[in-house]
């Protein structure tokens, strides 16, 4: 399946969101609402599994948006019961551009002690090696998804209950994963030992919810209780929440890009509002890379809080110089090559009256391939801007992510082959500056910046320092950064 539109091809894309609920009448309805709030983490497909005592496990998996599928009464009536989990996906490494419905999570496994369904956000970096081993030992895979490895590893465990089998399985798995899983009576949540991807716990009445982000707790009216800790497993039943520690303790390496772009600005991460962090990034950027100009404009929507921060710190007025068409969907873009080539113009339009004759600072969250930035620059100049200065709320993205984020291969990343000055000439702008890695760390609350000996976050897409070795990728030829 092609990207939703050409504009989307020039962003890093979070690949999944997960949500689980227990202790509600028709928990699947809460899961559908939660997934709707997490739709920005994956628009390609979604799935929900529920359990009720009369029918057992029930499952529905569909391509497309949550609102187009999981709002319809005939479908939701097939998902009864007090416990449910769900998943939205962009696309996973196994089937990019060629998703089959069998690759859509949650996955289900039937074990001697009962069934279990599982959904995960992230990426298993040794999935190919595990899959080879499991196939050699007789496992029959039904999908191309990494997550199915976990089900097969659980099937081979000798433990007597499902959470213990999951602990066994996950000890073999490397990479970044936030998991929601369920049995007939238990909702289970797990974060990988480094806590790369987010997972939070919420409470509503006697019910509990697990979610990739707090914004999805808000939509169901649940109170945000806490983040699941890196390396923690929670097993939730009608009696409450039991916390387990299946892994050896490690220092957290949460994905710093969640602060910059992936998470919704109304979510809370690490006790801080994502919106406020992004505004702080803009302030830091204004300090690090000042420039004389008449207007600060965001590249909508993700550049908005950083542009506001830049404007507040610099005293340069903020303006909506580019307007986004909120209703640009997949269906409109598909018909002809000619329409597809209109690209960015279908989604973004310049507010000419504001721009004409002005020196404009454009604030964006990142530069990936640079194709969108070039087109936006042309649109701004066509509208009569005198100067165009790009300020970017993340450091140059020079390395691919192997932890559940869709990134082009390294050679397609502009920053992998060009210096900042070369990128500035390539984009044809008057200036281009990125926030420094230390500046980004300061903006997310690390007042002393990045600890080079022991970085507080995962920042591999900027630094090339991967906290978990991407062993499958190395085996298939990826070259890690040489030691300095």
Round to whole Å and give the CA distance between 430 and 484.
Answer: 33
Residue 363 in contact with ligand SF4, rule: CB under 6 A = no
What's the burial of 292, exposed, middle or buried (CB within 10 Å: 0-12/13-18/19+)? exposed
Window 114-133: residues binding ligand SF4 (CB under 6 A)? none
Minimum gap (Å) between residue 146 Cβ and ligand SF4: 15
Closer residue to ligand SF4, CB minimum distance, 79 or 256: 256
Residue 192 in contact with ligand SF4, rule: CB under 6 A = no
| Site stretch for ligand SF4 (CB under 6 A), options 88-96, 178-186, 338-346, 401-409 | 401-409
Closer residue to ligand SF4, CB minimum distance, 257 or 434: 257
Catalytic annotation present for 16: yes
| Site stretch for ligand SF4 (CB under 6 A), options 45-53, 201-209, 254-262, 434-442 | 254-262
Closer residue to ligand SF4, CB minimum distance, 194 or 209: 194
Residue 483's closest CA among 458, 468, 463? 463
Residue 177 in contact with ligand SF4, rule: CB under 6 A = no
Minimum gap (Å) between residue 72 Cβ and ligand SF4: 34
Minimum gap (Å) between residue 405 Cβ and ligand SF4: 4
What's the burial of 246, exposed, middle or buried (CB within 10 Å: 0-12/13-18/19+)? middle
| Contact (CB, 8 A) for 397 and 440 | no
| Contact (CB, 8 A) for 321 and 360 | yes
Residue 403 in contact with ligand SF4, rule: CB under 6 A = yes
Instruction: State the DSSP code for 113.
Output: T
Minimum gap (Å) between residue 252 Cβ and ligand SF4: 12
Residue 401 in contact with ligand SF4, rule: CB under 6 A = yes
Minimum gap (Å) between residue 7 Cβ and ligand SF4: 19
Minimum gap (Å) between residue 134 Cβ and ligand SF4: 26
Cα 392 to Cα 81, 240, 347, 396, 437, distances in angstroms: 47, 44, 20, 8, 12
Residue 272's closest CA among 249, 256, 251? 256
Closer residue to ligand SF4, CB minimum distance, 311 or 463: 463
Instruction: State the DSSP code for 412.
Output: G
Round to whole Å and give the CA distance between 390 and 364.
Answer: 7
Minimum gap (Å) between residue 247 Cβ and ligand SF4: 18
| Contact (CB, 8 A) for 134 and 115 | no
CB burial readout 395-423, b (16+ within 10 A) else e: bbbbbbbbbbbbbbeeeebbbbebeeeeb
Question: With CB under 6 A, what is the number of residues at the site for ligand SF4?
Answer: 11
Q: Which of 255, 383, 414, 444 binds ligand SF4 (CB under 6 A)?
A: 255
Q: Which token pair is 116?
A: 């279990």
Window 426-465: residues binding ligand SF4 (CB under 6 A)? 458-461
Cβ neighbors of 463 (< 8 A, separation 6 or more) are 399, 437, 455, 481
Instruction: State the DSSP code for 409.
Output: -
Minimum gap (Å) between residue 14 Cβ and ligand SF4: 8
Closer residue to ligand SF4, CB minimum distance, 272 or 330: 272
Rg (CA), the chain: 23
Residue 415 in contact with ligand SF4, rule: CB under 6 A = no
Closer residue to ligand SF4, CB minimum distance, 79 or 401: 401
Cα 41 to Cα 119, 261, 264, distances in angstroms: 14, 11, 9
Residue 257 in contact with ligand SF4, rule: CB under 6 A = yes
Contact pattern from residue 196 through residue 235 relative to ligand SF4, giving x for each residue in contact according to CB under 6 A and a dash for the rest:
x---------------------------------------
Query: Which residues are catalytic, by number?
Result: 16
Q: Residue numbers of the site for ligand SF4 (CB under 6 A)? A: 196, 255-257, 401, 403, 405, 458-461
């Amino acid at each position: 399946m092609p990207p939703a539109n050409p504009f989307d091809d020039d962003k890093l894309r979070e690949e999944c969101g997960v949500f689980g609920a227990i202790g509600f009448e028709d928990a699947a309805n809460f899961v559908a609402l939660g997934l709707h709030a997490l739709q920005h983490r994956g628009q390609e497909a979604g799935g929900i599994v529920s359990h009720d005592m009369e029918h057992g496990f029930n499952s529905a998996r569909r391509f497309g948006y949550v609102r187009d599928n999981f709002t319809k009464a005939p479908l939701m009536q097939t998902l009864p019961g007090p416990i449910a989990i769900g998943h939205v996906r962009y696309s996973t490494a196994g089937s990019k551009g060629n998703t089959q419905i069998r690759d859509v999570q949650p996955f289900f496994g039937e074990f001697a002690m009962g069934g279990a369904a599982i959904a995960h956000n992230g990426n298993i970096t040794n999935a190919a090696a595990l899959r080879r081993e499991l196939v050699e030992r007789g496992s029959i895979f039904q999908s191309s998804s990494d997550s199915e490895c976990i089900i097969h590893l659980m099937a081979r465990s000798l433990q007597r209950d499902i959470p213990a089998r999951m602990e066994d399985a996950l000890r073999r798995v490397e990479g970044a994963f936030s998991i929601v899983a369920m049995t007939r009576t238990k909702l289970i949540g797990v974060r990988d030992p480094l806590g790369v991807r987010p997972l939070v716990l919420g409470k509503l009445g006697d019910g509990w919810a697990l979610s990739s982000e707090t914004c999805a707790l808000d939509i169901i009216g649940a109170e945000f209780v806490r983040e699941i800790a890196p390396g923690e497993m929670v097993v939730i039943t009608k009696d409450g929440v039991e916390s387990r520690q299946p892994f050896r303790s490690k220092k957290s390496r949460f994905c710093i890009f969640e602060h910059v772009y992936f998470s919704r600005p109304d979510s809370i991460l690490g006790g801080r509002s994502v919106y406020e962090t992004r505004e702080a990034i803009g302030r830091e950027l204004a300090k690090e890379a000042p420039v004389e100009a008449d207007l600060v404009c965001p590249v909508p929507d993700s550049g908005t809080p950083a542009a506001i921060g830049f404007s507040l710190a610099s005293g340069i007025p903020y303006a909506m110089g580019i307007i986004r068409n909120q209703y640009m969907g997949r269906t409109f873009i598909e018909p002809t090559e000619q329409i597809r080539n209109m690209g960015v113009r279908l989604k973004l339009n310049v507010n000419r009256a504001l721009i004409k004759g002005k020196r404009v600072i454009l604030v964006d969250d990142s530069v990936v391939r640079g194709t969108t930035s070039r087109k936006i620059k042309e649109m701004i100049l066509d509208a009569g801007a005198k100067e165009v200065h790009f300020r970017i709320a993340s450091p140059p993205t020079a390395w691919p992510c192997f932890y559940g984020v869709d990134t082009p291969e390294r050679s397609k990343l502009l920053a992998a082959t060009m210096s900042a000055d070369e990128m500035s000439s390539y984009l044809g702008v008057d200036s281009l500056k990125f926030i420094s890695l230390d500046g980004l760390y300061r903006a997310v609350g690390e007042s002393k910046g990045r600890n080079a000996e022991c970085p507080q976050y995962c920042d591999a897409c900027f630094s090339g320092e991967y906290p978990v070795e991407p062993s499958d990728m190395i085996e298939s030829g990826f070259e890690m950064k040489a030691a300095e």
